[in-house]
């Protein structure tokens, strides 16, 4: 029988592996499959195989036309995905289209127009541009244009280039763009709150107003929440619940309601009551209305104890 290898290449194997064809080589020689010695793939020329593998593909030693020698997997040579040692990548590397192009050396910078130069030195202190009033020149420049410190009608302060003011490009601190105007609501009543004055604080670009509640507390509320009715009190309304019903003089069983106290039980006003027996007791209004409490406790004490002997059954 003829084997596809010489006797000098035989390694210790079972005879059955040889006769069945399971082992056809020593596993180290690279002559199984297509021999590509001397073949050219792009700029690479295959020289000889090595005893190593890369992802199940044999590595071949190749020489590039530039003189470099590299190891390349055989499958990449045959597929054409590798055609040089990498020298062409550095030579033909293209810059991205969106790369910022630098101006040629020696190109003069674009000078501002004469109108801009005259405006840049103009004194606009105290002048009003839309909702902005120019206060002073900060001395800083942006693209060669002086920046002025301005105050808006809503109270915010903003630094704006003078050209943006004179051209009408900027007319507010940003409040006008979002529809947030410094409308005067002083003295207006919103539920239990009365608007007093605006503050410098802003809540999502909305003007915040200081308000006084009927209970005397003062809180700060955004104007949009006042107009929408989302806030109608300082919180006392939620603590007190609805306006307590006047139970003065009303009788509930043996109890007569005298006056409400400052106590609350699960949101129910506690009333001070006088019992017909002369005793006094504090009772929540809800227990008076539902009839759960009808006395100061004397009624329970006056109950006749049950005759336990009446339930006794005599057994003969």
- Determine contact, residues 77/44, Cβ cutoff 8 Å: yes
119: nearest Cα among 157, 76, 162, 73: 162
How far apart are alpha carbons 225 and 298 in whole angstroms?
52
Sheet holding 157-161, edge to edge: 128-129, 132-142, 145-152, 157-161
Q: Which token pair is 240? A: 């007190």
Q: At residue 277, does pLDDT exceed 80? A: yes
How far apart are alpha carbons 168 and 150 in whole angstroms?
14
Determine the pLDDT at residue 192: 83
Sorted by where each begins, the domain ranges of the chain are 7-90, 116-166, 189-239, 251-301
The H or E element spanning position 51 is strand 44-54
254: nearest Cα among 226, 210, 291, 223: 291
> Using one digit for the tens of pLDDT, what is the confidence trace for 65-101?
888 888 899 888 888 888 888 887 655 555 555 544 5
113: nearest Cα among 60, 179, 163: 163
How far apart are alpha carbons 224 and 222 in whole angstroms?
6
Determine the pLDDT at residue 3: 44
Q: How many residues does the chain have?
A: 316
Task: Look up residue 311 and give its DSSP letter.
Answer: G
Q: Which token pair is 75? A: 């499958």
Show contacts of 74-78: CB within 8 Å, 24+ apart. Answer: 74/33, 74/36, 74/49, 77/36, 77/41, 77/44, 77/46, 78/34, 78/36, 78/41
Mean pLDDT over 188-207 rounds to 84
Determine the pLDDT at residue 244: 61
- If you count DSSP H runs as helices and E runs as strands, how many of each does the chain have, helices first? 9, 16
How far apart are alpha carbons 176 and 152 in whole angstroms?
10
> Using one digit for the tens of pLDDT, what is the confidence trace for 116-152?
555 556 788 889 998 889 999 888 888 888 899 998 8
How far apart are alpha carbons 233 and 192 in whole angstroms?
5
CB atoms within 10 A of CB 89: 9
How far apart are alpha carbons 132 and 157 in whole angstroms?
9
pTM: 0.27
Beta bridge partners of 132: 129, 152
- Determine contact, residues 219/229, Cβ cutoff 8 Å: no
pLDDT-above-90 percentage for the chain: 13
- Model confidence band, residue 257 (pLDDT cutoffs 50, 70, 90): very high
């Amino acid at each position: 029988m003829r084997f596809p290898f010489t006797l000098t290449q035989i390694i210790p194997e079972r005879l059955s592996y040889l006769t069945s064809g399971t082992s056809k080589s020593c596993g180290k020689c690279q002559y199984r499959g297509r021999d590509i010695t001397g073949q050219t793939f792009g700029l690479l020329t295959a020289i000889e195989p090595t005893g190593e593998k890369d992802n199940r593909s044999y590595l071949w030693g190749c020489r590039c036309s530039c003189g470099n020698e590299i190891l390349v997997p055989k499958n990449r040579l045959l597929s054409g995905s590798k055609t040089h040692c990498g020298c062409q990548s550095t030579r033909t590397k293209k810059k991205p289209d969106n790369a910022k192009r630098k101006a040629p050396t020696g190109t003069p910078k674009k000078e501002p127009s004469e109108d801009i130069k005259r405006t840049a030195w103009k004194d606009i202190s105290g002048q009003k541009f839309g909702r902005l009033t120019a206060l002073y020149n900060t001395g800083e420049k942006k693209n060669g244009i002086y920046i002025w410190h301005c105050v808006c009608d809503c109270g915010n302060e903003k630094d704006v280039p003078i050209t943006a003011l004179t051209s009408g490009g900027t007319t507010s601190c940003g409040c006008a763009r979002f529809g947030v105007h410094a409308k005067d609501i002083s003295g207006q009543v919103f539920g239990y709150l009365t608007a007093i004055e605006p503050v410098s604080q802003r809540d999502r670009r909305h003007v915040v107003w200081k308000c006084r509640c009927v209970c005397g507390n003062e809180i700060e509320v955004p104007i949009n929440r006042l107009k929408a009715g989302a806030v109608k009190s300082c919180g006392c309304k939620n603590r007190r619940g609805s306006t307590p019903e006047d139970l003065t003089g009303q009788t509930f069983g043996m109890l007569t309601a005298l006056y409400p106290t400052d106590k609350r039980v699960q949101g129910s006003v506690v009333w001070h009551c006088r019992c017909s027996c002369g005793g006094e007791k504090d009772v929540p209004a809800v227990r008076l209305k539902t009839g759960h409490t009808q006395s100061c406790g004397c009624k329970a004490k006056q109950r006749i104890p049950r005759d336990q002997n009446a339930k006794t059954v005599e057994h003969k």
